[in-house]
A and B are shown apart, each in its own frame.
Chain A
Amino acid sequence: MKTAVVTFPGINRETDMMRALKLVTGKAPVNLWHTETELPGGLDLVVVPGGFSYGDYLRCGAIAARSPIMAAIRAKALNGLKVLGVCNGFQIITEAGLLPGALVRNASLHFVCREVKLKVENNRTFFTNRMKRGQIVSCPVAHGEGNYICDADTLKALEAEGRVVFRYAQGTNPNGAMNDIAGIVNGAGNVIGMMPHPENMIEPLHGKLDCLPLFESLLAA
């Protein structure tokens, strides 16, 4: 399986994500620089990782979403390339129009780094096929602007079409997101965005292995 991780200036969880992908796929992902205009051939998955691309200045993800590499990713995503955006990556791919809605300031107005509970609402995606529907896992979050919002019609469609992949569970919504939404998938099923950091809960050092099956799902997809 061939994976790639994109680095924009200010991205800072790219090494965490590359470590996770290597752990599961056995192969180091390709690290893509934001100025590149084409993706390498034969890619199975592109991950847009977490961080503070361009310092989150202007609006989280807004500047990165307009970079050359995102044009290339958008074009391939329309043809079915799998894309995963985590945290700042979720903000970037949303800003790039690959997913609906927006991530705004946490309701608490504070950055928050803590463990939350995630309920897997849709286990038919490339990142959740090893999970059970309704299964609850632990996962850390670390963000200041993870409060998912969208218009009423979009929300209705997301829920009706089963496109909410992860929901904060057991009262652990850390940011005020609508319907406790933590992660969503596009209509075609090949683009997933999520605020929590599964790459930070996959080995004994992290205290729990709860998010390892998410990455293992990539192998079956």
Chain B
Amino acid sequence: MRIPNDVRITPELVAQHGLKPEEYQHFLDLLGREPTITELGIVSAMWNEHCSYKSSKKWLKTLPTTGKRVIQGPGENAGVVDIGDGQAIVFKMESHNHPSFIEPYQGSATGVGGILRDVFTMGARPIAALNALRFGDPSHPKTRHLVSGVVAGVGGYGNSFGVPTLGGEVNFHARYNGNILVNAMAVGLADADSIFYSKAKGVGLPVVYLGAKTGRDGIHGATMASAEFDDKAEEKRPTVQVGDPFTEKCLLEACLELMASGAVIAIQDMGAAGLTCSAVEMGAKGDLGIDLDLDRVPCREERMTAYEMMLSESQERMLMVLRPEKEKEAEAIFKKWGLDFAIVGETTNSLRFIIKHEGEVKADLPIKQLGDEAPEYDRPWVEPKRQPVLAAQHVPAPVDLKTAILDMMASPALCSRRWVWEQYDTLIQSNSAQVPGGDAGVVRIGKKKAIAVSSDVTPRYVEADPFEGGKQAVAECWRNLTAVGAEPLAVTDNLNFGNPERPEIMGQLVFAIKGIGEACRALNFPVVSGNVSLYNETNGQAILPTPTIGGVGLLRDLSTMATLAFKKAGQKVIEVGGPGGHLGQSLYLAIVHGREEGAPPPIDLAREKAAGDLIRSLIKTAQVSAVHDISDGGLVTALIEMALAANLGVTLDRLTPAELFGEDQARYVVTARNARAVLAAAKKAGVPARVIGEVTATPSLKMGRLTLSLKALRQAHEGWFPAFMAKEL
């Protein structure tokens, strides 16, 4: 079917394009005439939530985005931080939630593809990938299918592209039953003096189309991503794009070669809203107009209209402003890699976005108002209701401690994610120093340095208290990077929330951003890139508020890196940061007692900083042999993970259930040959610390009369995921 360009624009058509009547009126005022259908498509793509951040911009501006290592903050394809020696790390996280629910394999695959492209568009070679996945309750009939498809899609794209997947998260909760989350993060390495940006410069320069051909896939994907779901979500399948990691790998190599040749003035990947968004961003940022001639766009389907070409979200494409004298050289590089290279337009001084097709002007729009001057909202919000603090004495002790611990280790929340990450290539590029299963992924850079990566958020905390939960997500990420010995540098935030037109959801977003901002400022951990995903609701039920934080840290000397595995029998086990006692919103409460209630553990950022700085200095001076942060499941979970990783046991002093399971923050477990020195250093730093046990050669966890063999613990920990996926549960 062909859509004529002169169809009448009815209110229904406007509504189908996701524009509110007042937004459409604003557009009419700007234009001074009725738009063409192509123009309506373009404006709907640019002004939807996904591309314009219209609901969140006001609050995102409050986040700290600068620092002595920040080369580029939010607003570009990805953030850039300096890691010394003339090198920079380029990274970002982005969601692909709605497509992954509709078509899990392609949805997640193209999520990975999109974020990789964001990173290499800036001139960086991707060196690590992470993904944060949230699924519905395991008992929900769709969950297994979604897990299977998403994991295969993430792996299918990343493995073929050739980037090691070094970290991530997998959560289950009924609140994601109708709206899963797939947040993908990519981290790249570049020379600090050759970062490429999207801002076009110079009038009359060629605008070049690179990569794969344009088809009809993904039309209105970004608009779909900005709407709630109902029971007919699967009918939106045609709006999900199809990924081709092979073409992306070729595009990576061709782009890096092209950038090295000096031909590139500006470059932008075609992600959400494809050709429209990339062209408008390049022009608007550079205060330039763009003329496009769609007759020159490489298409893989026949008789595509201007409307379809402008809104296609076909993958593995880029748009570039080229140095004209380098045209032949640039074209040869793309021919070599078997990719399309076509001059499709030029930069102008008109500040208009003009689309020509088959001899007609199909669109003529003001570029600034489409792009960086798009509408913004100050949506009404209400302050979230906080849950009262649940005192530890109001939580009963487990009937049987042994059963409680085994049940927790075998729970969907705490069990091993090996089934997932063994489907990801974690070793490619030969630089992986820590693969998933530890506190952070670590990848070597050059001979001596390394960077650490982690992604974190505890959605049940954010639900109970968006402000503290926002702080906690940042603090935990900072803590995980610290636990391997890295200096935390900066974060990317991926804010997944429900419908912002509901004041209580907007309140969650506002308070979570406030919490993130406060923690980032206190920990000197600026936000350099991010993505907002709103309208994550099905039939009016919102997801748990999920602001995923992806962080990057620097290890100046890889030889000092810490790991969580116990190292040697006889070494003392030390709890750093004080004893646990907070059971509200803990996994113990949820798994053993079936209760999700209470305030989450409070975050004292000064204590967080003091404990983290102490741990980093202990690691640097080799005073600790194993390090692990205490988070979900509390101290006992941390200890069991350390034991299982080494196949060494542990004997514990007698601890109360609150001490074993409390999820109090700013805490770590370490082992040391010389415990006294560690305690002295902690005392000096004003951080509480105590010896709680000893590493043993006997493979079991012992506390008083309680004995749990590592064999039983391992079986519990490793068993759930494969059994669930094999439909044995």
| A→B interface (CB under 8 Å) | 9-10, 12-13, 15-16, 19-20, 51-52, 54-57, 110-114, 140, 142, 144, 197, 199-200, 203, 205-206
Contacts and interface: CB of A to CB of B under 8 A. Distances in A.
Contacts of A57: 246
Given A144-B159, A205-B444, 17 more contacts: A10-B250, A12-B162, A12-B428, A16-B430, A52-B160, A52-B162, A54-B246, A55-B244, A55-B245, A111-B423, A111-B425, A113-B426, A113-B427, A142-B428, A200-B427, A205-B430, A206-B430
A51 B249 CA distance: 11
B338 interface: yes
Contacts of B155: 111
B47 interface: no
Interface SS of chain A: helix, strand, loop or mixed? mixed
16 contacts: A10-B249, A10-B250, A12-B428, A15-B429, A55-B160, A55-B245, A111-B156, A111-B424, A113-B425, A142-B425, A142-B427, A144-B159, A200-B427, A200-B428, A205-B430, A205-B432
A193 B61 CA distance: 56
Contact of B246 (A9, A20, A199, A205): A9
B422 A112 contact: yes
Nearest to A7: B253
B161 interface: yes
A56 B160 contact: yes
A175 to B, nearest CB: 12
A55 B109 CA distance: 14
A51 B429 CA distance: 11
Given A142-B427, A205-B444, A9 B245 contact: no
Contacts of A140: 427
Nearest to A17: B430
A19 B430 contact: yes
A153 to B, nearest CB: 34
A203 B160 CA distance: 24
Contacts of A205: 430-433, 444, 558
B24 interface: no
What class of interface size applies to chain B in its complex with A?
A: 20 to 34
A20 to B, nearest CB: 8
A174 to B, nearest CB: 9
Most A Cβ at <10 Å: residue of B161, B246, B430, B432: B430
B430 A199 contact: yes
Contacts of A19: 430
A113 B422 contact: yes
Contacts of A110: 152, 422-423
A29 B426 CA distance: 25
A54 B431 CA distance: 25
Contacts of B427: 113, 140, 142, 197, 200, 206
Contacts of A12: 160-162, 249, 428
B428 A114 contact: no
B337 interface: yes
Contacts of A113: 159, 422-427
B245 A52 contact: yes
A114 B427 CA distance: 9
Given A52-B245, A200-B430, A112 B162 contact: no
